[in-house]
Amino acid sequence: MDLPPQIPSDQIPPPNFHTSPQVQPKSSFPTGIVIGAVVVIGFCFCLPIAGAILFPVFAQAKDAARRTQALSNLKLAATAVIVYTADYDDRFPPTMGENRGLTQSLSPYLQSPNYMIIEKTPVESNPNLAATKSTELEFPESTIMLYCIPEAIRNSAFVAAADGSAKRVEPDELLINISNNTFTVPSR
């Protein structure tokens, strides 16, 4: 068997680095289009997922802002009633229990009649307090003076006591106290 002759290593020619690279055949889709399509498809999947995660967070923040605004408006309306009683020998307005009449009675004490409306729901008042002396109330801190149950704010009702304090309560608890004609502020 004959072996090929050995070439001494000093005689082996170096590889030619200056040769042109072999030309690859062109694919039907350029790489940029493929990458762009993958990015667009990724956004199409990621954006709805991110929206689904963030939507409840934003909804909760909006509800919290509505509750805060509602409580603030009711507190301002309660303050107007308290100032009215101070001006009229400690007597509540005779229009308690009448939405339009109470708003008119309190108009000198309210910057805006809109404080008597919370999320398109009028603020109601305790008709038992009409023309009653505030000093005759045994428990002003637990006697409902004003209240509102706006449908736009989930699971929330707002009450203002005869002492001017205001708070958020559960709508069912408030409805029970009003329907029994006790008009007492529900405890938490």
Instruction: Evaluate whether residue 41 is within a structural domain.
Output: no
pLDDT value of residue 185: 84
Residue 123 tokens read as: 């603020």
Instruction: Evaluate whether residue 150 is within a structural domain.
Output: yes
Instruction: Evaluate whether residue 136 is within a structural domain.
Output: yes
Instruction: Evaluate whether residue 47 is within a structural domain.
Output: no
Could you give the CA distance from residue 42 to residue 61 in angstroms, rounded to a whole number? Answer: 29
pLDDT value of residue 188: 57
pLDDT value of residue 62: 85
Could you give the CA distance from residue 30 to residue 161 in angstroms, rounded to a whole number? Answer: 73
C-beta of residue 115 within 8 angstroms of C-beta of residue 76:
yes
Instruction: Evaluate whether residue 1 is within a structural domain.
Output: no
Domain count, the chain: 1
Each residue's pLDDT tens digit in the chain (188 positions)?
566 667 666 666 666 555 555 666 665 657 777 788 888 888 788 878 877 777 777 777 888 888 999 999 999 999 999 999 999 999 999 999 988 999 999 999 999 988 899 889 999 999 999 999 999 999 999 999 999 999 888 889 999 999 999 999 999 988 887 777 778 888 75
Instruction: Evaluate whether residue 106 is within a structural domain.
Output: yes
pLDDT value of residue 184: 86
Instruction: Evaluate whether residue 167 is within a structural domain.
Output: yes
pLDDT value of residue 56: 75
- Domain around 108: 67-179
C-beta of residue 80 within 8 angstroms of C-beta of residue 106:
yes
Instruction: Evaluate whether residue 142 is within a structural domain.
Output: yes
